[in-house]
């Protein structure tokens, strides 16, 4: 007899006691019949909301007509994908490589940067999260478990600092806004200083836009929001609206210095992923869509000073609610959950993350503020020494 005990899931996640059975837009339905407002959006993934009809129809049509074919064949969907993505690209000429996840996108970007510069050192930042594969983990915060050895030399700097970006450095990688660390924005002038340090040393600047991309900041990319253009950037999560995709972009100049055979992926750039990314890119690059992201963001920012929230940080729909002294964000998450609102914790115990679908409604955003008004939380007792 086959029993559940013979095969159990790896205990990788600590899960919330919820039983989701369906989702539409920013609403999750649970088995007990309750509806939840989803302000977490599957970690930034549901850029168009859950079950978006347009995306669903595009994927169904793609599956029926041409579900998969090798990357060795030309594909009309590739042209449509590049045309849709081209609309919001930073200035200059770019080359795109498709993979399947954020970690892979970052691995490929670092591989391209080190191959193009012929250097073996990467600068990264404390608090960073770039994924769990070898190179991505090596440049994430060193408090996170990683492989026993790094695939290249790593120089880790405090967030906001630029020293040590010298001629030995091939790549400088960062999230323009550190999300998992607590939605930490770049200090004023930091991105510009990094750009200047890279220009002076010949290092390549790599933005990890796995969370900040695809319109989440109310601009196509963080580089458009901050006005600093990197040499390479990556994205994943929201780029496929729920269909897995990883994207690495390099300037045409950097791409030209990349040796043939360095990149490849069986699934990466398959017709379904391309179709999903095309649909998302078309929708999120529309000025009216981005305007709505900014409008909803402005409502959510009104959470500052409501209930236990003292401040709101972040940009667009990547926001962190900062709780008052000693009030754990986890307690606020639980209190909101009890009121039917799903949010997310992060590495900062006093920051609750919001990364809802980008088409969240204004009234849905308002309902967070009303819920906050009904919440009073005590500060946690200080840990005894």
Ligand X SMILES: Cc1ncc(COP(=O)(O)O)c(C=O)c1O
Binding site for ligand X (CB under 6 A): 43, 101-103, 106, 129-131, 175, 179-180, 208, 210-211, 236
Select 49 or 213, whichever has its Cβ closest to ligand X: 213
The distance of closest approach from Cβ of residue 8 to ligand X in the complex, given in angstroms and rounded to an integer, is: 22
Select 13 or 385, whichever has its Cβ closest to ligand X: 13
Q: E-strand spans in the chain?
A: 20-24, 27-30, 35-38, 94-99, 121-125, 153-157, 169-174, 204-208, 232-235, 246-251, 309-315, 318-323, 341-342, 351-354
The distance of closest approach from Cβ of residue 158 to ligand X in the complex, given in angstroms and rounded to an integer, is: 18
- Residues 195, 196, 201, 207: what is their CA dihedral angle, to the nearest 10 degrees? -10
- Cα separation, 141 vs 3, in Å, equals 39
The distance of closest approach from Cβ of residue 237 to ligand X in the complex, given in angstroms and rounded to an integer, is: 6
Q: Is 374 exposed, middle or buried (0-12, 13-18, 19+ CB in 10 A)?
A: exposed
- Cα separation, 194 vs 175, in Å, equals 12
Asked whether 300 and 371 are in contact (CB, 8 A), the reply is: no
Residue nearest to ligand X (CB): 102
Select 129 or 159, whichever has its Cβ closest to ligand X: 129
Select 133 or 310, whichever has its Cβ closest to ligand X: 133
The distance of closest approach from Cβ of residue 250 to ligand X in the complex, given in angstroms and rounded to an integer, is: 17
Select 307 or 356, whichever has its Cβ closest to ligand X: 356
The distance of closest approach from Cβ of residue 144 to ligand X in the complex, given in angstroms and rounded to an integer, is: 11
List beta partners, residue 169. Answer: 121
- In the block, residue with structure tokens 């005990």: 5
The distance of closest approach from Cβ of residue 290 to ligand X in the complex, given in angstroms and rounded to an integer, is: 20
**Dihedrals phi, psi of 320, to nearest 5 degrees:** -120, 125
Select 179 or 248, whichever has its Cβ closest to ligand X: 179
């Amino acid at each position: 007899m086959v029993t559940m005990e013979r095969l159990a899931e790896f205990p990788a996640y600590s899960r919330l006691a919820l039983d989701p059975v369906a989702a539409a837009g920013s609403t999750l339905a649970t088995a007990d019949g309750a509806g939840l407002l989803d302000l977490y959006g599957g970690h930034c993934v549901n850029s168009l909301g859950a079950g978006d009809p347009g995306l669903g129809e595009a994927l169904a049509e793609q599956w029926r007509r041409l579900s998969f074919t090798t990357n060795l064949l030309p594909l009309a969907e590739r042209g449509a994908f590049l045309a849709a993505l081209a609309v919001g690209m930073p200035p200059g000429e770019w080359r795109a490589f498709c993979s399947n996840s954020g970690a892979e996108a970052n691995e490929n970007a670092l591989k391209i940067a080190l191959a193009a510069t012929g250097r073996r050192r990467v600068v990264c930042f404390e608090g960073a999260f770039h994924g769990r594969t070898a190179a991505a983990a090596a440049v994430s915060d060193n408090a996170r478990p990683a492989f026993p050895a790094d695939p290249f030399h790593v120089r880790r700097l405090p967030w906001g600092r630029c020293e040590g970006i010298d001629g030995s450095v091939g790549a400088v990688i960062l999230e323009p806004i550190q999300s998992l660390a607590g939605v930490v924005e770049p200090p004023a002038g930091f991105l510009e200083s990094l750009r200047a340090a890279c220009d002076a040393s010949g290092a390549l600047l790599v933005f990890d836009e796995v969370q900040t991309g695809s319109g989440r900041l109310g601009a196509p990319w963080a580089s458009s929001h901050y006005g600093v253009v990197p040499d390479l950037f990556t994205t994943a999560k929201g780029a496929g609206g729920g269909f897995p995709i990883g994207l690495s972009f390099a300037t045409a100049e950097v791409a030209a210095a990349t040796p043939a055979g360095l990149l490849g992926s069986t699934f990466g750039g398959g017709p379904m992923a391309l179709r999903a990314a095309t649909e998302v890119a078309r929708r999120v690059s529309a000025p009216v869509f981005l305007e709505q992201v900014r409008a909803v963001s402005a409502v959510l920012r009104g959470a500052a000073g409501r209930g236990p929230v003292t401040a709101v940080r972040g940009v667009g729909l990547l926001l962190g609610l900062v709780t008052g002294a000693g009030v754990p964000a986890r307690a606020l998450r639980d209190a909101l959950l009890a009121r039917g609102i799903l949010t997310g914790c992060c590495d900062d115990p006093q920051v609750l993350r919001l990364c809802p679908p980008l088409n969240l409604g204004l009234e849905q955003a308002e309902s967070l503020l009303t819920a906050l008004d009904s919440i009073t939380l005590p500060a946690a007792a200080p840990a005894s020494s």
